Amino acid sequence: MKPKNVLFISNIKLDNPMRGTPLRIYKFILNIKKENNVWVSSQTNHKDFGDQYFEIPKVNLIKKFLFFHKIIKENKIDIVISATGTSIKLLVVLKLLSGVKIVVDLHGLDFEEPYYHGYINKRTMMTRKVIIKFLLRFYDLLFVVSGKLKSYYKKENKNIEVIYGGVDLSEFQRTDYKERDHLVIGYMGNARSYQGLDLLLEATKNIKQKKLLPFKLNLITSGDPKEVETLIEKNGLKDDVVLHCNVEHHLVNDIVNDSDVLVLARPAGIMMTEYAYPAKLPEYLATGIINITTNVGPVEELLVGKDVCIILDTDNIVGDLEDNLQKIYKMSREERMAVGGRAIDFVKENLTWEIIGKKINKHLAEL
């Protein structure tokens, strides 16, 4: 099939994508480039995008519309793609001006996160919600990160495809469990409550007080180190933690591999966790380290019944974490590796960027 001319617009820095949203966008673009001609406009360029890059102009909306309209005409663009809800209005105007097809990759409910963190009030959040839902009716295709998010927007658009986050297995090496008399508990993320670090620290604090098992916490965190250090000290775990802050992406794997279990204990009842996709979930699975995750977001639809990790109900996360960390501590090396092996096989069959990229390009080719 003839390659499409694609313009990917993202108001984000892409020169050094390490994790989360920037990394997903970077991988999206690389995979679209495998079968299409791609131009990129973002805050910063990445060497892999070559010369077909335009810096997002810092101008008013009208000048920005005209800037991209010119790019579309000069390069005979067929499809304009954006990620997250930040450029939804821009793409709709470009469609009306230029007749291009428009696509957006939605990572969650964009109006919920600033409200959750207190950056906007409820009235502003509700206004954004109404505007986004209205504008999505103009889109030719929506990519979303979970089945729940697809159901949420099904009234606004009938052409919605679920695209989970993926990994490149070449970046991971199979973990060979070390013989030791304690359990090394790994975690990646920040200190915000929706990430679940506070739940993990509470569970390990209880384990320490009850003397249930010897352990060490192996934490890789982003953001303000003081915020994490305060949480650690509050739970009386200062002597039980090895803390790595704001680690470069290429160093993460070696640090994570020095763990016996990885924990992703996101709480339920928060729109951000129920409708989003934790980027570190496929990374955890790809390590071959046995991991514990809570049944929120896409976990139900993606992992329940697969026997590739331990899945916790959300009624008593702290208590269940205590119980399952004890369970893993008592497991043999062979038992842990069996679960980890199934996890790697699952990723290999479902969550590599090669597989996901083919799905993305298939849907773009059909537009």
Kindly give the parts of the chain with pLDDT less than 70: none
Q: What is the pLDDT of residue 69?
A: 95
CA-wise closest residue to 25 among 279, 222, 298, 344: 279
Place of tokens 């934490």: 219
- Please state, in angstroms and rounded to a whole number, the distance separating the CA atoms of residues 186 and 254: 12
Q: Which residues of 295-332 are buried (b: 16+ CB within 10 A; e: fewer)?
A: ebbbbeebbeeeebbbbbeeeebbebbbebbeebbebe
Q: Which fold has domain 5-166+352-365?
A: Rossmann fold (3.40.50)
Q: What is the pLDDT of residue 66?
A: 93
- Please state, in angstroms and rounded to a whole number, the distance separating the CA atoms of residues 190 and 280: 12
- Please state, in angstroms and rounded to a whole number, the distance separating the CA atoms of residues 322 and 336: 17
Q: What is the pLDDT of residue 50?
A: 84
Q: What is the pLDDT of residue 198?
A: 95
CB atoms within 10 A of CB 165: 23
Q: pTM for the full model?
A: 0.90
Segments in the chain forming alpha helices (H): 20-33, 61-74, 88-98, 112-116, 122-135, 147-152, 197-210, 225-234, 249-256, 271-274, 280-287, 299-303, 317-330, 333-350, 353-365
- Please state, in angstroms and rounded to a whole number, the distance separating the CA atoms of residues 261 and 343: 13
Q: What is the pLDDT of residue 347?
A: 96
Matching CATH topology for 5-166+352-365 and 169-350?
Answer: yes
**DSSP helix/strand/coil, 101:** strand
Q: What is the pLDDT of residue 208?
A: 97
- Please state, in angstroms and rounded to a whole number, the distance separating the CA atoms of residues 275 and 194: 12
Q: Which fold has domain 169-350?
A: Rossmann fold (3.40.50)
CB-based burial label for 26 (10 Å; 0-12, 13-18, 19+): buried
Q: What is the pLDDT of residue 270?
A: 81
Q: What is the pLDDT of residue 272?
A: 78
Q: Which residues of 125-143 are buried (b: 16+ CB within 10 A; e: fewer)?
A: beebbeebeebbebbbbbb
Q: What is the pLDDT of residue 223?
A: 82
Q: What is the pLDDT of residue 271?
A: 82
CA-wise closest residue to 367 among 166, 79, 1: 79
- Give the residue extent of every domain in the chain: 5-166+352-365, 169-350
- Please state, in angstroms and rounded to a whole number, the distance separating the CA atoms of residues 291 and 186: 9
Q: What is the pLDDT of residue 115?
A: 73
Q: C-alpha dihedral over 291, 293, 295, 299, to 10 degrees?
A: -60
Question: How far out from the chain centre does Cα 98 lie?
Answer: 32
CA distances from 168 to 32, 85, 110, 134, 257 (A): 15, 26, 27, 36, 16
DSSP symbol at 265: -
Query: What contacts 24+ positions apart, CB below 8 Å, involve 98-101?
Result: 98/69, 98/72, 98/73, 100/7, 100/72, 101/140, 101/141, 101/367
